[in-house]
Structure 1
Amino acid sequence: MRELSGRVAVVTGAASGIGRALAVRFAAEGMSLMLADVDPRGLSQTAAMISGVKVLTQITDVSDAPAVQHLAHRAFGELGAVHVLCNNAGVFQGGRIWTRTEEDVAWLLGVNLWGVLHGIREFVPRMIEQGTEGHIVNTVSVAGLFAGANTGGHAVTKYAALAASQSLALDLAQIGSKLRVTALCPGGVRTGISRSERVRPADLVVARTRDDLTSQEWLDGMLEKGMEPAEVADATVEAIRQEHFLVLTHPGYDDSLREQTTALLAGLLPEPPDGEPRP
């Protein structure tokens, strides 16, 4: 899908970080936008950064199926079509996997996995019916490729999001669809994901554990040295144009993937890439 001007993009998690950068980048390409997030203030700020194209916003909790259905109804109804869908909303919860509560896991699964699945179910059938070129971008994270210590709950959801992306791509190819899929796997990017607790639903809030807080401190440090979200947005547009399935944002992750595969085939526990949590 090389021509973006005049097309329509939907971006979840658009109030900040990668989602905001995607919105700004798509607008620069001349795309109309439907932007969604649970953060009203951040969403309004993102919309205010954009001019020259039509922008709609919708407060949307992607873990809630009816909310995503409403988002899709508005996007198709008011913008006429959807050509690029970015299932980008995501949250982080660290800590050892045996200390994660049901509330922790429900929150992570709700946003990081069900958010992707709800987006696929509500948008993709109608995108197929359009009969036009289109692209689905799922923000998976490098955590969907490399599981690390103290991030088990998060990695579970991201591995599942990668599997969903790959299955979607194969399903679309099987029916001869013009839609393509990208699994976006950023590493350290200067976003606010380490402070995801600020948007955690009140009914899923539990007391923070020491290992959880330690993991957050590690992530804070990694993100502080990370790349700018705009660089990820640029890589995403390039992936859409070149129809790339997997996007790795940082040098060295390709070598780490090869090393991980070699270790697994030898029956060994893979070492995480440099900068990722280790035993």
Structure 2
Amino acid sequence: MKKLIITGAANGIGRATVELAILQGYFVIGADKDAEGLKVLQGLYGADVFEAHIADFSDMTVIKGFIPRLYERHASIYGLVNNAGIYHGKSVYAYSDEQIDEILTVNLKALVYLSKDFAEREMPHEAQRSIVNIASVAGEVGSCDALYGATKAAVIGLSKANAWNFAPFVRVNVVSPALIHETAIYGTIPEYRRAEYARQEVLKDPILPGGVAEVILLLLGDAMRHITGRVIPVDNGAYPR
């Protein structure tokens, strides 16, 4: 049974990815600061397929210790999904210094450390491994939340660089969602921005977390073994590249 780490596992895209990964036969290591959300997942899925870790990725001590502690229990892990993130949906002028530090840490620094720590331990196995990072269309076309957009643009750049850094054994790809319904941040997105997304979508079936999860699992799997360093949009065609 292949083992898979998913951060931000308790809700939204993360939870949908946990559920689909287990359905597809993965053993999932789920991390989130939402202890209650993890408890729900633990109740749905037994310890033979799901392992929960309460982790606040705004804390650098947690970030730096997370992967090393996992490898005290697991000899090898197949994949890493860097999904945990913060979105405030507000002007750059409204950010406090503390909030700036927090969003940079959760949305970017955590990915730097988790990715390199994972790759460092898996590359010696000389076997195919996979990292999928969750960015956003905001990292490609901009955002009303400048800090969010900046961090997601950085995630794309980091992913492309790490596709080189971790080759030939660890693939690194990016999923770039647009407007995702039924998530915690949906209501935080300003109404005018939601209307803009909806206006530009050429496919009209609303994007749900499960739809993004399907793309994540596809990128992780063997069918995409020749793909690395790519940004895969999940945006209903709203932003043709």
| 1:193 counterpart = 2:185 | yes
Partner of 1:238 in structure 2?
A: 218
Counting only pairs closer than 5 Å after superposition, residues 75-154 of structure 1 correspond to structure 2 as 75-148=70-143, 150-154=144-148
Partner of 1:168 in structure 2?
A: 162
Counting only pairs closer than 5 Å after superposition, residues 1-279 of structure 1 correspond to structure 2 as 6-51=1-46, 53-148=48-143, 150-173=144-167, 177-189=168-180, 190-194=182-186, 215-218=189-192, 226-241=206-221, 242-243=224-225, 244=227, 245-253=230-238, 255=240, 257=241
Q: Does the residue aligned with 2:31 lie in a helix, a strand or coil?
A: strand
* TM-score, reference length from structure 2: 0.85
**Cα deviation, residue 94, structure 1:** 2.0
**RMSD (Å) for aligned C-alpha atoms:** 2.4
Per the alignment, do residues 254 and 118 of structure 1 end up closer, same or farther by CA in structure 2, a change over 3 Å counting?
A: same
Letter paired with 1:191: T
Q: Does the residue aligned with 2:131 lie in a helix, a strand or coil?
A: strand
Q: Does the residue aligned with 2:141 lie in a helix, a strand or coil?
A: coil
**Cα deviation, residue 216, structure 1:** 4.2
| Identical aligned residues as a percent | 25
Contact 1:34 1:57 in 2 (8 A): yes
Contact 2:132 2:219 in 1 (8 A): no
**Cα deviation, residue 147, structure 1:** 0.3
**Cα deviation, residue 31, structure 1:** 1.2
* TM-score, reference length from structure 1: 0.74
Q: Does the residue aligned with 1:154 lie in a helix, a strand or coil?
A: helix
Per the alignment, do residues 216 and 43 of structure 1 end up closer, same or farther by CA in structure 2, a change over 3 Å counting?
A: farther
**Cα deviation, residue 121, structure 1:** 2.8
**Cα deviation, residue 75, structure 1:** 2.5
Q: Does the residue aligned with 1:181 lie in a helix, a strand or coil?
A: strand
Partner of 1:205 in structure 2?
A: none
Deviates more, 1:87-96 or 1:46-55: 46-55
Q: Does the residue aligned with 2:5 lie in a helix, a strand or coil?
A: strand
Cα distance in 1 between the residues matched to 2:47 and 2:31: 19
In the TM superposition, what whole-angstrom CA distance separates every residue of 1:17-75 from its partner, at most 9, and x where no partner exists?
A: 11111111111121112110011001111232334843211111123233134331342
Q: Tell me which stretches of 4 or more aligned residues in structure 1 moved more than 3 Å.
A: 215-223
Cα distance in 2 between the residues matched to 1:194 and 1:91: 12
**Cα deviation, residue 163, structure 1:** 0.8
Partner of 2:202 in structure 1?
A: none
**Cα deviation, residue 194, structure 1:** 4.5
